[in-house]
Structure formats: structure tokens, C-alpha cells
Structure 1
Amino acid sequence: MKLANLDGRATILTPHGSIDVESASGGRFPSHPDAAVACVAEIRDWLATTQPPADPKTTLAALTADPARLGPPVTHPSQIFAVGLNYLDHSAETGLTVPESPLVFTKFPSSLAGPGADIPLPAPTCDWEIELVVVIGEGGRDIPESKALDHIAGFCVGQDISERAAQMKGATPQFSLAKSHRAFTPIGPWLTTPDELDDPYDLALTCTLDSDTVQTGHTRDMIFDIPALISHLSSVCELRPADLILTGTPAGVGYSRTPPRYLTPGSVLRSTISGLGTLTNTCV
């Protein structure tokens, strides 16, 4: 199932059209995207048994071509976790030591943006990082790796935009603030439930900047895989429905290049993960 934030309402997207969750269910399920994430399993079961008609005026293909009506699949998560240096090739390009346990920081919810949102550039040193985003459906503490998939509502594509000068300034890096400017966390284009994917832990990532492919990778190459991240985070924090986990980026970021390359006004950043869709964000 593909669950989207369409015009601010929880909406199921199909090849034949869209289904407004609250209207089609007669009010059984909520209209707010975040609240719908918390009951995504029930919505999926209801969809399979009732097969409500879809509105053909809003098709999946049309929204893929023009995502302007799509907002972030989650709008106000209580927690956004991000994981640094979670791919060997990215650790190598930064020259930093591979971490012995997940390197975790936060991004603030006010940085969230939709799949077609513009990205304002506050400085000339803004960088890209394509990431697989895990959306928590069922929360909890001390979740074992063997039960991690039971706690996932779905997956989406994300970008961890980073203002590198601020991030690296001073003796103590400012990861969270430097990565939380307006629209620095575009996600989407919708939430895809795990049952739609042959292997939700084995997905291809591609990021292009204008006509250049700048990142390619595969989620199977994570140092700490998704079950390990969920188990690790829940050993400290209580995970809650609609929380987000940005799981790290592969090699190819701009500041590790010689010379460094950064985002510029007018550039178009496209971020694609197999089975999940594409973000198309213009820098302004």
C-alpha cells in the first residue's frame, strides 16, 4: 500500500486513482497523515477486504509527474533520528573512522518538506545525502532485532541536506542545527508498506544533481542494518508512531569531492529508491 499526504489528508494511492482514507472508511480511520500512520496495518487490512473505489482524477502517474499536491508523509513526528557514517564507502570518502556502534544525531521536525518542495539555500556550502527513511508504526522500548519489522509502518525516500560550513565549524560539530534549516529534510513521495517490497532491506539508491549522477548505493551495504538500528534506538528511547529514522547515505556527497561541489540556486536534486519513488527538489 502507498499512503500519501495529499492536500493535507491521508490518501491511498493506486495505479487507478486515489482513495481518501477518512471519507472512504466512513470516518473509521483518521484524515491526518500522522494519525493514519499509527493505524497503517488496520488500513491495509481494510483496503484488502473492502476494495473501495478510487478517484480516477488523481492517479499515481499524475502525482509522480507533478508532486506539488503531496506533502511529507509524516508532518509532525515526535522524533527524527539520523544515522551518520552508516556505509563503508561514505566513511572512507570522509576519512573518518568506521563507528563501532550507530552514530546517531537528530534533525528537527520543522525541517520536513514534501517530495516536490523547493529547498532554500542559506549558504553556498549546502550538500546532498540521499537516505532510506524508516517510518515507525508501532512504538516501544527494547525492541529485539527479530521483531523490528513488526514495528515499521513503511519506508520512504529522504534527503539529509547539510550546510557543511556550519556543520564543521568549531571544535564540536553542529550536526543537528546544520541539517535542520527550512526544507532540509524532504521526504516522500509517499509511505510504502513493507509488503509491497520483495526485500525491504535490499533497495537501490540513486541521487542525481541536474544531469549528473552523484550517488549510487544499496541499502544492503549498511554497516548497521534496519533491525539493528531499531533495536539500538529503542534500547535508549521509546520509539513512537510516526517517528522517522534516516538510515545513512552512501558515498558521493559534495564536500568530499576535489574540489568540493555544493548545491546552487536553480539546481534540481532527484533522489530515487527502488520500489519507493522519487523526490524532485529544486534549490532556490
Structure 2
Amino acid sequence: MKIAAFSVEADRHIGIVQNDGVIISLSALRETEFPACIKTFIERSEELRPLAEQLIGQHENEQARFTLSDVKILAPIPNPEKIICVGLNYMDHCKETGMEPPASPVIFSKYANAISGHNEAVKIPVNSNEVDFEAELAVVIGKEAKCVTEEEAMDFVFGYTILNDISARDQQFSDGQWARGKTADTFAPTGPFVVTHDEVGDPHNLDISLKLNGSLMQDSNTTQLIFTVPKIISFLSQSMTLKPGDIIATGTPPGVGMGRNPKIWLKKGDRMDVTIEKIGTLSNYVED
């Protein structure tokens, strides 16, 4: 199941994306059961997902059918309790940054102010001149997880989306810690959809790439992850309670701007397209 949050004029919806580019609005089919919020859908997924599958299979309401080109796709989860990121989680990315592969997951956070959606602007802060891109597979937690083992960790995954971990490198490294450089407004584009774990299958064998103005910059596969999705979930859950709708970004492959010679920094007018197999393409443009 591929779930999208979208708006049509002033109305917000959640819907199921079909293979033919049609999106069927659950909000329009059964407004009282389906609030226009994917996070709420996740929290009530045991109740709402079977109902959604039933409605999609038998719906005849043409007013609930939209084409993707006619709607505005929104950030799927604009208000997660937590956005947790894993740094240095691809071996080749460690090499291009000149850093040793970590012995355990390197964890940092972003905040909800950084969330932006598909086809929305990434805005360069007035106090940074070295803003970079990072294509990442993001895990969406489906139910509360505390002290779970690696063997049971995947039971707590609702699905996956894409996150572009935008980073102000000058701030990231001058501050001595990463918070300011990682969580400026618009620095966490996510989307365009949340795809359920059963549709994605194995998250450790997905092609992942990023194009900047049409030129391929990052091109890898999640087989290169140092720490797997269940390892990350188990590791985090030993310290913090993961909640439905929490987003975990699993790290970026090589090819980022800071690893190039000469370095490439984002500038006004740039366009980024992050594609992950079985999930889709997240596109954003850059503004000052």
C-alpha cells in the first residue's frame, strides 16, 4: 500500500496511490473514519488499514479519484514526535568524508520545523554558504517500541519513505556537534509517499540515487548499509520509546557535495531528485 497526504484546493486528504497514477482519497470515501492525517492512520492502522483495503477494492465514487498531477502532494508526516538520523552508515560515505566506520550507530536528530514536502523549496539559511544534500531511506515506525530485540524489530515498522538530509556543513563542523547544521527550516524534505513494509519487502536491497539538476550525484544500494534497519531500531529502543509516526533516516551513500573535488554546494535554482526503488522520487528545488 502506497499512502499519500495531499490537498485539493483547501481540502486535505489521505489516499492510496494506484499504479496508473490515480490516487483514491480515503477521506472522500469515508470522511468520519479517515482523518486527513497519515500519522493518525498509522496509530489506528490495525483498525483502519483493513477498512481502507476493503473500500479501495469496491469503491465506485468518482469524486474520490484524483490524478497525481492534479493534486498537491504534502509531507506525509509533518509532525512526527521524533526525526532520528543515522550518520556514517554507508562504508563508501565514511571513506569520502575521511572518517572511520563507526563501531555503533552515530545518532543525531532533526526537528519538525525541518520537514518539507515533495516539490517544495529547500531554503538556504542566511548564515550558511555550504549547504549539502544527502539521499536517505527513512523508516516509519508503526507501533510503540521499547527495548525490542533485532529479531522482533521489523514487527514495529509500518513502512518507508524518502528523506533528503539537507546539511549546512559549515555549521555542522564549526559547532562541534550537528544540531544547528542539520535542522534549519526545510532541511528534512520527506515523501512523496509512505509505502507499507509488505509492499517494499527487504529494505536492504533497494537502489537509491540522487540527481542534482539532472546529473547523477549519488548512486548506490541499501545493501551497503553498515547497520541494518532492525539493528538501528533495536539500538534506539534501548534508550528511547519509539512512537507511531516516528521517522528514522538510515544514512546516505557516497556522492555528497562535501566529498567532491571541487566541493558542490546547493545554490538558488538547483533541483534535487531522490529516487528509491519501490518508493518513488522526492523532488525539491532550492531558494535563498
Instruction: Compute the TM-score of the two structures, normalised by the length of structure 1.
Output: 0.92
1:281 partner SS: strand
Partner of 1:58: 66
Partner of 2:164: 159
User: Cα distance 1:237–1:169, how it changes in 2: closer, same or farther (>3 A)?
Assistant: same
Partner of 1:6: 6
User: What CA deviation, in whole Å up to 9, does each residue of 1:210-249 have, x standing for no partner?
Assistant: 1210001111211000000000000100000100000000
1:126 maps to amino acid: V
Partner of 2:86: 83
**Corresponding residue pairs, total:** 277
Give the Å deviation of 1:282.
0.7
Give the Å deviation of 1:45.
2.1
User: What CA deviation, in whole Å up to 9, does each residue of 1:59-108 have, x standing for no partner?
Assistant: 24x36xxxx71111111111110000001000011111111000000001
The answer to which structure has the higher strand fraction is: 2
User: Take 2:31 and 2:253, find their aligned partners in 1: how far apart are those partners?
Assistant: 44
Q: Is the 8 A contact 2:150 2:234 kept in 1?
A: yes
1:183 maps to amino acid: T
1:179 maps to amino acid: K
1:86 partner SS: coil
15, 21, 39: which is aligned to 2:19? 15
Alignment of 1:200 onto 2:203:
yes
2:88 maps to amino acid: L
What RMSD in Å do the two structures reach over aligned CA positions? 1.8
224, 248, 252: which is aligned to 2:251? 248
- Which runs of 5 or more residues in structure 2 are unaligned? none
User: Take 1:268 and 1:49, find their aligned partners in 2: how far apart are those partners?
Assistant: 39
User: Take 1:241 and 1:272, find their aligned partners in 2: how far apart are those partners?
Assistant: 24
1:178 partner SS: helix
User: Cα distance 1:211–1:224, how it changes in 2: closer, same or farther (>3 A)?
Assistant: same
Alignment of 1:138 onto 2:146:
no
Partner of 1:275: 278
1:27 maps to amino acid: T
Give the Å deviation of 1:41.
4.5
Alignment of 1:177 onto 2:180:
yes
User: Take 2:273 and 2:92, find their aligned partners in 1: how far apart are those partners?
Assistant: 21
User: Take 2:28 and 2:118, find their aligned partners in 1: how far apart are those partners?
Assistant: 24
Partner of 1:217: 220
Partner of 1:118: 121
User: What CA deviation, in whole Å up to 9, does each residue of 1:6-64 have, x standing for no partner?
Assistant: 1243222223533332442352333322211223354332233342426475124x36x
Q: Is the 8 A contact 1:80 1:107 kept in 2?
A: yes
Instruction: Compute the TM-score of the two structures, normalised by the length of structure 2.
Output: 0.91
User: What CA deviation, in whole Å up to 9, does each residue of 1:245-269 have, x standing for no partner?
Assistant: 0000000111111121111111111
User: Take 2:101 and 2:206, find their aligned partners in 1: how far apart are those partners?
Assistant: 22
22, 41, 54: which is aligned to 1:36? 41
User: Cα distance 1:30–1:57, how it changes in 2: closer, same or farther (>3 A)?
Assistant: closer
Give the Å deviation of 1:191.
0.3
Q: Is the 8 A contact 1:207 1:214 kept in 2?
A: yes
User: Take 1:169 and 1:180, find their aligned partners in 2: how far apart are those partners?
Assistant: 15
2:123 partner SS: coil
1:146 partner SS: coil
User: Take 1:81 and 1:202, find their aligned partners in 2: how far apart are those partners?
Assistant: 22
Give the Å deviation of 1:143.
1.3
Q: Is the 8 A contact 1:159 1:187 kept in 2?
A: yes
2:216 maps to amino acid: T
